[in-house]
Amino acid sequence: MRAVDIIRKKRDAAELSREEIDFLVQGATIGAIPDYQLAAWLMAVIWRGMSAAELAALTEAMLHSGEVINFSGMPGAKVDKHSTGGVGDKTSLVLAPVVAAGGVKVPMISGRGLGHTGGTLDKLESIPGFNVNLSLGDFRRVLETCGCALIGQTPEIAPADKKLYALRDVTATVESPYLICASIMSKKMAEGIDALVLDVKTGDGAFMKKQADAEYLAQLMVETGTRMGKKVVALITDMEQPLGRKIGNALEVEECVEVLHGKGPDDLRELSLDLSAWMFLLAGRTKTVAEGKALASEMIASGRARDTFREVIRLQGGDQKIVDDTGRLPRAKHQTALQAPRAGFVAAIHCEQVGVASMMLGGGREKKEDSIDPGVGLVLAKKVGDAVEVGEPLCAVHYNAEAQLSNAMALLAKSFEIGDKAPQPSPLIRKIIGA
């Protein structure tokens, strides 16, 4: 078997066999196939797409390129949630303790933020002392002890994805629903879970701007996961404006703590409860989504989710007192506000630009190597549909350095659209796939 023949076959729109895909993925993992051949193949995949059989073979080959965690000896169902990423998208930090407190285990392996989107690991690391770099052994122990564990990618999990993703990033071959599906599902299927709830974002602040693209990706992921014997459901959710009001790492942890205290913004709370409810349902913990949502609410109201959150923070080396005193979280030195240039109603908030503005302040990464400033970020005073007077604050800006402030402020000023009347409210959950 020769890589060049496999590339040619894909280039000419033929279907690759499982053996051919295994050959490529194994070659990528051990370095036997040079990067330039992998890159040509990736671009041919962007061009030609993949059949369902090819996608299944690719996902399985990537999954088996590394270690597949086995939690079958641990009692109870294990369920995870994956989001395709957005701005202010912080539900993981709410639902992990909620679902764990409700008796379902949540072994969660997350990623970092890039560009305008944030990442769960960066948010967790804004909690003083919190260690996301656990070994797989420690991951298991934390999960067994408190019902959830929150770590970053380890070298053992899906090394083929690590290799291919790095190559995709520099060869303009990220944007293929097939490659995205295989990348996400190979990692999630390695977590030792029984079920997976997918939060596929769509809208201005999402990776998939068009709902049809989000639905297509969701469909692929649900089919791929189901074929691999897992229960999978995907929620298509709105990312036309940031989720919640706070954007930035410590600010987002703070907002999650608010929700765990029964407060916080409606949209964040509702989506966190809905995702938790689906996790309970897929785990067999409840019989309906409504029942699951009631259970999730109960975990918050009773304080049990807060207990679990304190516990997981403690077990992972972090300062658990932040759950009761968010003043212990890092905070930016300075604040300023963006003021409304006119009166009216907020018609739109350009979500991607808001994410970029937060990134400019140091809250995110332009390049993978960039470091994060955990305290900086934005607090939206107004969201879409809110009435606003001229000069009233639209958004508080938390910053440490002056350097990028004026650029960030200029971008934010362009991000708020103010109109004469309130727009029609749109639902947060647009569609459910695979239920």
The CB-of-179 to its own copies minimum distance in angstroms stands at 13
209 binds its own copies (CB under 8 A): no
The CB-of-43 to its own copies minimum distance in angstroms stands at 4
46 or 68: whose CB is closer to its own copies? 46
- Among 53, 136, 167, 337, indicate the residue that binds its own copies (CB under 8 A): 167
Q: CA nearest 105: which of 229, 272, 258, 285?
A: 285
Residue 99 tokens read as 């679902």
40 binds its own copies (CB under 8 A): yes
Nearest 5°: phi and psi at 25?
A: -70, -40
44 or 106: whose CB is closer to its own copies? 44
40 or 124: whose CB is closer to its own copies? 40
Q: Which of 81, 187, 310, 365 is catalytic?
A: 187
Q: Does 386 participate in catalysis according to the annotation? A: no
Q: CA nearest 169: which of 323, 369, 354, 315?
A: 369
7 or 322: whose CB is closer to its own copies? 7
The CB-of-168 to its own copies minimum distance in angstroms stands at 9
15 binds its own copies (CB under 8 A): no
Q: Does 187 participate in catalysis according to the annotation? A: yes
Question: Half-sphere exposure of residue 57, counting CA atoms within 13 Å on the CB side?
Answer: 17
Task: Round to whole Å and give the CA distance between 88 and 271.
Answer: 12
Asked if residue 237 lies in contact with residue 200, where contact means CB atoms within 8 angstroms, the answer is yes
Asked if residue 321 lies in contact with residue 329, where contact means CB atoms within 8 angstroms, the answer is no
405 binds its own copies (CB under 8 A): no
Asked if residue 143 lies in contact with residue 96, where contact means CB atoms within 8 angstroms, the answer is no
8 binds its own copies (CB under 8 A): yes
With residue 140 as reference, give the H or E element that holds it.
helix 136-146
294 binds its own copies (CB under 8 A): no
172 binds its own copies (CB under 8 A): yes
Asked if residue 201 lies in contact with residue 237, where contact means CB atoms within 8 angstroms, the answer is yes
Q: Does 398 participate in catalysis according to the annotation? A: no
4 or 387: whose CB is closer to its own copies? 4
Q: What are the distances in angstroms from CA 355 to CA 26, 89, 295?
A: 37, 11, 33
Window contacting its own copies (CB under 8 A); options: 2-10, 128-136, 195-203, 406-414? 2-10
3-class secondary structure per residue, 65-116: CCCCCCCCCCCCCEEEEEECCCCCCCCHHHHHHHHHHCCCEEEEEECCCECC
14 binds its own copies (CB under 8 A): no
171 binds its own copies (CB under 8 A): yes
Task: Round to whole Å and give the CA distance between 157 and 141.
Answer: 18
Task: Round to whole Å and give the CA distance between 187 and 157.
Answer: 7
State the amino acid at position 157 in one-letter form: I
Any idea which residue has 């400019």 for tokens?
360
The CB-of-393 to its own copies minimum distance in angstroms stands at 36
35 or 392: whose CB is closer to its own copies? 35
- Which residues in 37-68 are b (16+ Cβ under 10 Å) and which e? bbbbbbbbbbebebeeebbbbbbbbbbbbbbe
- Among 1, 14, 19, 36, indicate the residue that binds its own copies (CB under 8 A): 36
Q: Does 64 participate in catalysis according to the annotation? A: no
Window contacting its own copies (CB under 8 A); options: 65-73, 164-172, 198-206, 242-250? 164-172
Q: CA nearest 339: which of 422, 407, 409, 419?
A: 409
432 binds its own copies (CB under 8 A): no
- Among 39, 190, 221, 329, indicate the residue that binds its own copies (CB under 8 A): 39
Any idea which residue has 């658990």 for tokens?
320
421 binds its own copies (CB under 8 A): no
38 or 281: whose CB is closer to its own copies? 38
The CB-of-172 to its own copies minimum distance in angstroms stands at 4
Q: Does 333 participate in catalysis according to the annotation? A: no
151 binds its own copies (CB under 8 A): no
Size of the site for its own copies (CB under 8 A): 24
The CB-of-167 to its own copies minimum distance in angstroms stands at 6
131 or 171: whose CB is closer to its own copies? 171
Q: Which of 122, 161, 274, 373 is catalytic?
A: 161
What distance, in Å, lies between the first and last C-alpha atoms of the chain? Answer: 41
- Residues at the site binding its own copies, with contacts judged by CB under 8 A: 3-5, 7-8, 11, 34-40, 42-44, 46-47, 167, 169-173
By annotation, the residues acting in catalysis are: 82, 161, 168, 183, 187
